[in-house]
């Protein structure tokens, strides 16, 4: 069996998880990390947070072309606007899984945005330390974002002794952390860093060196950064690079507003009127809140019996598809789509039974 | 007593002025307008930085190179001059607002020509004590310059709004007609003029016609194995830059990299830094590379595709041999190569179709912004700005002729002129009888004054093939732990 280009392989793995449930487009939003209520619910329901924001740079036109190719080659199909993985696709995945070492952590949902800032701070800190200790003051900083430079100023060791000490501590800390990763992943991290007389390598250069596609290089690198971020508390420099970063923006901005109204005791219709939004939008917000907050008063919306009924069907029918579930629970006429979505969101992935 | 020298040493760390710098600076301090054509790397920026610090008020520096202004601000800050800022589209709204509110506190403010047009900046300018207005890359203001940016044409309005501060126009390369045009467009009054010779006697000029691409590649590979390093190869497409970088890497075993506008900012910075650090032997680039880069030891510049006019060519080969040592420029071309610059020239302007679409849109408002053109008609940014400017110009003519005819006529004139410049360049390439240097200098109204040896392929041979190549041995083979050790000095 022929290996697929890395991003297509990742897409295919995700397709298997979403089989017959979602459109091809929905997968695009997950892989590029779109922050919409729908996508956020998807990654939780299907337990695929580790695919979120894997390829934020994937262009939509490319994606369309590449997935069309995959349909033509019969890895996937699409029916009623839902993705279907073929037998060929499944066995392709099987082969891939057999000899692929998945990195210890990759979680674009938790770390996606903050990892980028964390990395910029870390790389700039190391570069400046390396150059300054070599007595070189004229160099091109790898990042020029004003916010990152301000962070650096605040955290910059003032004295030469402080710099030397930081360097030797950071050396041990980074070495120990990176040793816990595959050699190739540690190599990627160190070769993206610039220092005195050693400049970081571009993705093309690394791809040539490691004979690995650029997509995979970037994925492995990012996963290593996620690892460093997850273990930042083991290094005094890294923990400062991670400070103040919201590890996860739990709710979208607009949902936060709705939540404030909700906490003040307003009902859904009131909120819709006050915010001049459609009811369906407010419903989306409530579903998002239900998926995030364990203290969400779900009982106010769906009785316990009904919750149990919905979860029962979700489990036995092995689906999260609303239409199917709606039909299954249809004898209970008062149960609308909103009740079903709310319940599924609230219980999230804990009992989705398809790990 | 000479007060300038202690000032120079204190703020810039130099003990002497370079050729011409002193006269230019003195003229600016006296409040005269100045036109200066200075070779890159000859201390152009000092000509406005020095007077900016010397005089009362705030100096406004117009520069199209965003990265260059960031660098200069950083350098000034490193030198202890903290009251410097760069105002451009990279900034976030609060950052912009901060600079605008504190404009008076800065000694030097760099600004891009686009940002200069923004009403919020222009309105603050009226209340500001502007010590001088410097226009870098001033050839962009001229239709007869090798790059023309309509944003530049509005600088003179801004100058009037700021109360006509003294103006200094700087460029590295402008032919005679462009120079005259720059001074007119900026309304310089009896300016002090300084022009360096464009000649670079330490650069040997070689031109070779090849039968086809295959022969060009063979020659390229051969030259890269014999010429001293590091060097640059100019091509006109991103794809070719990548292709040749791979070719030279595989065939010659050299450290190479491509550089072009299609790469991410971060990667571009890395490649630039690698090249400056001598970690790359040969860089294969489009003309996106080079602006504001000052690397002294480039030994050769090879044009695998030739540039569209003599000025661009001059600027590009001028990146070689800044350290004064023997260097070389080589153009390789075949008869099919003429297609590329022609296509590029065509692409500089909106298409006939686009012009018609904009002209005949009944819903087009009277005042159009380039953003509007960009979004409504899907135009490219340069095209949108071009059109926006000429729609405005057309409105001033009270619409005597239809908009599309007006714009098409402008485009036709511009295109014809550009093709003339291209033909001039091609004529220079094809002739094999007259000295290349002599004919090159004629374009800039200069004469070859001294005998240069080695001079060019017409005059005689060069001796660079015998020199040591200085291949990069680099620290590329380091393991990640060794690399970490080195970087953190352990």
Q: A227-254 pLDDT, tens per residue? A: 999 999 899 999 999 988 865 556 777 8
Which of A63, A78, A100 is the last residue before a domain boundary?
A100
Which of A137, A196, A204 has its CB closest to that of B487?
A196
User: Residue A350: is its pLDDT beyond 80?
Assistant: no
Contact between B273 and A194 using a beta-carbon 8 Å cutoff: yes
Contact between A170 and B488 using a beta-carbon 8 Å cutoff: yes
CA distance A152 to A149: 5
CATH number at residue A43: 1.10.10.10
Of B254, B252, B261, the closest CA to residue B275 belongs to B254
| Chain pair A-B, CB pairs under 8 angstroms | 94
CA distance B91 to B203: 40
With tokens 């714009």, the residue in question is B407
Of A128, A139, A146, A198, which to mutate for an interface test with B (greatest number of B Cβ within 10 Å)? A198
Of B173, B165, B170, B157, the closest CA to residue B117 belongs to B157
SS3 A121: helix
Residue A354 lies in a domain: no
Q: What is the mean pLDDT of chain A?
A: 88
What pLDDT, on a 0 to 100 scale, did the predictor assign at position A250? Answer: 64
Give Cβ neighbours of residue A211 (< 8 Å, ≥ 6 apart).
none
Contact between A202 and B270 using a beta-carbon 8 Å cutoff: yes
Sequence-separated contacts (24+) of A240-249 with Cβ below 8 Å: A240/A155, A241/A118, A241/A121, A241/A122, A241/A125, A241/A151, A241/A155, A242/A114, A242/A118, A245/A114, A245/A117, A245/A118, A246/A114, A247/A110, A247/A111, A247/A114, A248/A109, A248/A110, A249/A35, A249/A113
CA distance B57 to A216: 54
Residue A248 lies in a domain: no
Of A140, A175, A222, A238, which to mutate for an interface test with B (greatest number of B Cβ within 10 Å)? A140
User: Residue A213: is its pLDDT beyond 90?
Assistant: yes
Q: Find the residue in B nearest to A120 (Cα).
A: B266
Residues A237 and A146 in one domain: yes
H helices within B280-401, ranges in order? 310-317, 339-347, 352-359, 370-377, 381-396
Contact between B488 and A126 using a beta-carbon 8 Å cutoff: yes
CB-CB contact of B374 with B381 (8 Å): yes
What pLDDT, on a 0 to 100 scale, did the predictor assign at position B475? Answer: 56
What pLDDT, on a 0 to 100 scale, did the predictor assign at position B291? Answer: 67
Residue A205 lies in a domain: yes
Residues A91 and A152 in one domain: no
Read off the DSSP letter of residue B483. Answer: H
H helices within chain A, ranges in order? 6-17, 24-32, 37-45, 60-72, 87-98, 108-133, 146-155, 160-179, 183-192, 203-210, 214-230, 236-242, 253-263, 268-275, 279-292, 304-316, 322-328, 337-347
Tell me the chain A residues in contact with residue B88 when contact means C-beta distances shorter than 8 Å.
none
Domain pair B3-195 / B203-341, same fold: yes
| φ/ψ of residue B470, rounded to 5 | 55, 55
CB-CB contact of A167 with A131 (8 Å): no
CA distance A242 to A212: 29
Residue A10 lies in a domain: yes
CA distance B352 to B119: 31
CA distance A213 to A152: 33
A110 CB neighbour count, 10 Å cutoff: 19
Contact between B257 and A142 using a beta-carbon 8 Å cutoff: no
| φ/ψ of residue A276, rounded to 5 | 60, 45
What pLDDT, on a 0 to 100 scale, did the predictor assign at position B450? Answer: 79
SS3 B452: coil
- A-side interface with B, Cβ within 8 Å? 126, 129-130, 133-134, 137-144, 146, 167-168, 170-171, 174-175, 178, 183, 186-187, 189-191, 193-205, 208
Q: What angle do CA B3, B169, B416 make, to 5 degrees?
A: 165
SS3 B167: strand
Contact between B270 and A138 using a beta-carbon 8 Å cutoff: no
CA distance B456 to A226: 57
Residues A303 and A265 in one domain: yes
What dihedral angle (degrees, nearest 10) is formed by the CA atoms of B226, B230, B234, B240?
A: 80
CA distance A52 to A247: 14
Side-chain half-sphere of B147: how many Cα atoms within 13 Å?
A: 19
CA distance A27 to B12: 56
Residues A258 and A231 in one domain: no
Q: Find the residue in B nearest to A167 (Cα).
A: B488
CA distance B225 to B461: 18
Of B319, B158, B161, the closest CA to residue B233 belongs to B319
Q: Find the residue in A nearest to B485 (Cα).
A: A171
Residues A121 and A82 in one domain: no
- B-side interface with A, Cβ within 8 Å? 70-71, 74-75, 78, 90-92, 95, 242, 249, 257-258, 263, 266-267, 269-274, 276-277, 279, 475, 478-481, 483-490
Which pLDDT band, with edges at 50, 70 and 90, does A353 fall under?
A: very low
CA distance B135 to B39: 16
Q: Find the residue in B nearest to A163 (Cα).
A: B488
- CA separation (Å) from A137 to A124, A133, A140, B332, B371? 14, 10, 9, 40, 40
Contact between B271 and A171 using a beta-carbon 8 Å cutoff: no
CB-CB contact of B480 with B460 (8 Å): no
> Quick one: A87 exposed, middle or buried, by C-beta within 10 A (0-12, 13-18, 19+)?
exposed
* Topology of the domain covering B203-341: Rossmann fold (3.40.50)
Residue A75 lies in a domain: yes
CA distance B446 to B438: 8
Residues A190 and A298 in one domain: no
Which of B90, B91, B481 has its CB closest to that of A175?
B481
Residue B34: its H or E element: strand B34-37
User: Residue A138: is its pLDDT beyond 80?
Assistant: no
Read off the DSSP letter of residue B2. Answer: -
What pLDDT, on a 0 to 100 scale, did the predictor assign at position B467? Answer: 85
Read off the DSSP letter of residue B131. Answer: E
Task: Give B274 to chain A, closest Cα distance, Å.
Answer: 6
Residues A37 and A125 in one domain: no
Angle of helix B352-359 relative to helix B381-396, nearest 10 degrees, comes to 50
What pLDDT, on a 0 to 100 scale, did the predictor assign at position A249? Answer: 56
Which of A241, A270, A305 is the last residue before a domain boundary?
A241
Which pLDDT band, with edges at 50, 70 and 90, does A352 fall under?
A: very low
Of B68, B59, B63, B62, the closest CA to residue B41 belongs to B68
Tell me: the pLDDT tens digits for A170-179? Answer: 999 999 999 9
Count structural domains, chain A.
Answer: 3
**What's chain A's Rg over C-alpha atoms?**
24
- Along the 490 residues of chain B, how does pLDDT read in single tens digits? 588 999 999 888 888 998 889 999 999 999 999 999 987 767 888 999 999 999 999 999 998 877 778 778 877 887 778 899 999 877 878 888 889 999 999 999 999 888 888 888 888 888 899 999 999 989 888 877 777 788 888 898 889 989 999 999 999 888 888 899 999 999 998 999 999 888 999 999 999 999 999 999 999 999 999 999 999 999 999 999 999 999 999 999 999 999 998 888 888 889 988 998 889 999 999 988 876 677 889 999 999 999 989 988 998 999 999 889 999 999 999 999 999 999 989 998 999 999 999 999 888 888 888 888 888 888 888 888 889 888 888 888 877 789 999 999 999 998 999 999 999 999 999 999 999 999 999 988 888 877 888 999 999 999 888 888 888 766 567 899 999 999 999 9
What pLDDT, on a 0 to 100 scale, did the predictor assign at position B466? Answer: 81
Tell me: the pLDDT tens digits for A146-200? Answer: 789 889 989 999 999 999 999 999 999 999 999 999 999 999 999 999 999 899 9
If one compares A146 and A4, the residue with the highest pLDDT of the two is: A4
Residues A180 and A207 in one domain: yes
Q: Find the residue in A nearest to B71 (Cα).
A: A140
| φ/ψ of residue A294, rounded to 5 | -65, -20
User: Is domain B3-195 given the CATH code 3.40.640.10 in the classification?
Assistant: no
Which of A130, A198, A204 has its CB closest to that of B475?
A198
Indicate the domain borders of chain B: 3-195, 203-341, 348-420
Beta strand B192-195 pairing with A76-79: unpaired
User: Residue A355: is its pLDDT beyond 50?
Assistant: no
Contact between A186 and B480 using a beta-carbon 8 Å cutoff: yes
Residues A132 and A236 in one domain: yes
Contact between B475 and A137 using a beta-carbon 8 Å cutoff: no
Q: What DSSP assignment string belongs to B192-218?
A: EEEE-----TTEEEEEEE-SSHHHHHH
Residues A70 and A172 in one domain: no
Read off the DSSP letter of residue B399. Answer: T
Residues A294 and A236 in one domain: no
CB-CB contact of A148 with A219 (8 Å): no
Which of A65, A100, A135 is the last residue before a domain boundary?
A100
B160 CB neighbour count, 10 Å cutoff: 10
What pLDDT, on a 0 to 100 scale, did the predictor assign at position A25? Answer: 94
Tell me: the pLDDT tens digits for A60-99? Answer: 999 999 999 999 999 999 988 899 999 999 999 999 999 8
What pLDDT, on a 0 to 100 scale, did the predictor assign at position A351? Answer: 40
If one compares A34 and B449, the residue with the highest pLDDT of the two is: A34
Tell me the chain A residues in contact with residue B75 when contact means C-beta distances shorter than 8 Å.
138
Tell me the chain B residues in contact with residue A215 when contact means C-beta distances shorter than 8 Å.
none
Which pLDDT band, with edges at 50, 70 and 90, does A109 fall under?
A: confident
- In which order are the strands placed within the sheet that holds B231-234? B203-209, B327-333, B300-303, B231-234, B282-285, B256-259
Contact between B490 and A129 using a beta-carbon 8 Å cutoff: no
CB-CB contact of A288 with A251 (8 Å): yes
ipTM over 0.85: no
CB-CB contact of B230 with B280 (8 Å): yes
Residues in chain A: 355
Residue B232: its H or E element: strand B231-234
Which pLDDT band, with edges at 50, 70 and 90, does A349 fall under?
A: very low
Tell me the chain B residues in contact with residue A183 when contact means C-beta distances shorter than 8 Å.
480
Of A124, A186, A204, A209, which to mutate for an interface test with B (greatest number of B Cβ within 10 Å)? A204
User: A285 is in which domain, residue-wise?
Assistant: 253-346
Contact between A167 and B489 using a beta-carbon 8 Å cutoff: yes
What pLDDT, on a 0 to 100 scale, did the predictor assign at position A300? Answer: 86
């Amino acid at each position: 069996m022929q290996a697929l280009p890395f991003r297509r392989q990742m897409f295919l793995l995700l397709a298997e998880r979403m089989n017959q449930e979602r459109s091809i487009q929905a997968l695009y939003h997950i892989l590029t990390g779109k922050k919409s209520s729908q996508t956020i619910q998807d990654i939780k329901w299907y337990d695929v947070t580790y695919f979120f924001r894997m390829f934020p740079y994937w262009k939509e036109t490319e994606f369309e072309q590449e997935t069309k190719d995959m349909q033509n080659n019969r890895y996937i199909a699409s029916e009623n606007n839902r993705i279907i993985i073929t037998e060929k696709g499944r066995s392709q995945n099987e082969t891939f899984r057999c000899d692929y070492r998945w990195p210890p952590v990759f979680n674009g949902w938790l770390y996606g945005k903050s990892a980028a800032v964390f990395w910029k701070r870390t790389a700039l800190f190391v570069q400046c330390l390396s150059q300054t200790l070599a007595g070189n003051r004229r160099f091109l900083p790898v990042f020029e974002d004003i916010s990152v430079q301000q962070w650096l100023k605040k955290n910059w060791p003032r004295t030469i002794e402080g710099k030397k000490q930081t360097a030797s501590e950071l050396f041990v800390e980074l070495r120990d952390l990176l040793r816990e990763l595959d050699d190739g992943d540690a190599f990627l991290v160190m070769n993206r860093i610039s220092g005195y007389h050693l400049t970081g390598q571009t993705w093309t250069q690394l791809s040539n060196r490691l004979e690995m596609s650029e997509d995979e290089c970037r994925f492995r690198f990012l996963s290593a950064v996620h690892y460093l971020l997850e273990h930042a508390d083991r290094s005094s420099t890294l923990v400062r690079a991670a400070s103040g970063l919201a590890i996860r923006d739990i709710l979208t901005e607009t949902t936060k507003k709705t939540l404030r109204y909700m906490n003040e005791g307003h009902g859904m219709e009131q909120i819709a009127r006050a915010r001049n939004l459609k009811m369906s939008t407010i419903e989306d917000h409530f579903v998002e809140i239900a998926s995030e907050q364990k203290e969400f008063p779900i009982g106010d919306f769906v009785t316990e019996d009904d919750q149990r009924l919905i979860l029962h069907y979700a489990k036995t029918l092995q689906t999260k598809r609303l239409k199917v579930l709606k039909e299954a629970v249809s004898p209970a006429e008062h149960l609308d789509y909103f009740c079903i979505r709310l319940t599924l969101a609230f219980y999230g992935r804990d009992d989705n039974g398809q790990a | 007593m000479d007060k300038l020298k202690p000032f120079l040493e204190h703020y810039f760390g130099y003990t002497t002025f370079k050729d011409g710098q002193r006269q230019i600076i003195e003229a600016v301090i006296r409040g005269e307008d100045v036109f200066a054509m200075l070779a890159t790397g000859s201390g152009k920026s000092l000509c406005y930085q020095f007077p900016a610090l010397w005089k009362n008020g705030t100096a406004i520096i117009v520069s199209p190179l965003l990265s260059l202004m960031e660098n200069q601000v950083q350098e000034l800050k490193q030198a202890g001059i903290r009251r410097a800022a760069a105002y451009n589209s990279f900034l976030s709204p609060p950052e912009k607002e901060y600079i605008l509110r504190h404009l008076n506190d800065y000694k030097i403010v760099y600004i891009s020509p686009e940002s200069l047009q923004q009403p919020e900046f222009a309105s603050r300018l009226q209340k500001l004590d502007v010590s001088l207005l410097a226009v870098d890359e001033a050839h962009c203001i001229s239709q007869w310059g090798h790059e023309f940016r309509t944003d530049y044409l509005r600088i003179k309005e801004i100058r009037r709004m700021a109360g006509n501060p003294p103006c200094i126009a700087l460029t590295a390369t402008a032919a005679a007609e462009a120079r005259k045009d720059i001074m007119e467009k900026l309304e310089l009054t009896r300016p002090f003029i300084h022009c360096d010779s464009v000649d670079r006697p330490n650069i040997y000029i070689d031109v070779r016609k090849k039968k086809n691409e295959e022969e060009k590649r063979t020659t390229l590979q051969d030259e890269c194995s014999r010429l001293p390093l590091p060097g640059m190869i100019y091509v006109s497409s991103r794809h070719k830059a990548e292709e040749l970088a791979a070719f030279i890497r595989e065939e010659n075993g050299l450290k190479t990299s491509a550089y072009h506008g299609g790469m991410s900012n971060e990667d571009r910075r890395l490649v630039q830094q690698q090249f400056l650090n001598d970690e790359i032997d040969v860089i294969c680039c489009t003309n996106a590379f080079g602006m504001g880069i000052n690397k002294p030891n480039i030994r050769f510049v090879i044009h695998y595709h030739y540039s569209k006019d003599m000025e661009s060519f001059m600027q590009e080969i001028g990146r070689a041999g800044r350290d004064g040592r023997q260097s070389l420029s080589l153009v390789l071309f075949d008869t099919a190569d003429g297609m590329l610059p022609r296509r590029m020239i065509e692409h500089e302007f909106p298409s006939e179709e686009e012009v018609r679409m904009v002209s005949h849109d009944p819903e087009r408002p009277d005042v159009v912004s380039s953003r509007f053109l960009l979004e409504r008609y899907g135009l490219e940014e340069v095209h949108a700005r071009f059109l926006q400017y000429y729609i405005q110009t057309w409105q001033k003519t009270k619409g005597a002729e239809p908009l599309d005819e007006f714009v098409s006529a402008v485009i036709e004139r511009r295109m014809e002129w550009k093709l003339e410049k291209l033909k001039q360049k091609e004529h220079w390439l094809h002739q094999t009888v007259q000295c290349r240097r002599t004919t090159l200098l004629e374009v800039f109204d200069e004469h070859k004054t001294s005998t240069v040896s080695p001079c060019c392929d017409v005059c005689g041979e060069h001796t660079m093939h015998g020199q040591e190549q200085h291949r990069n041995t680099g620290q590329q083979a380091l393991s990640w732990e060794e690399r970490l050790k080195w970087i953190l000095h352990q």
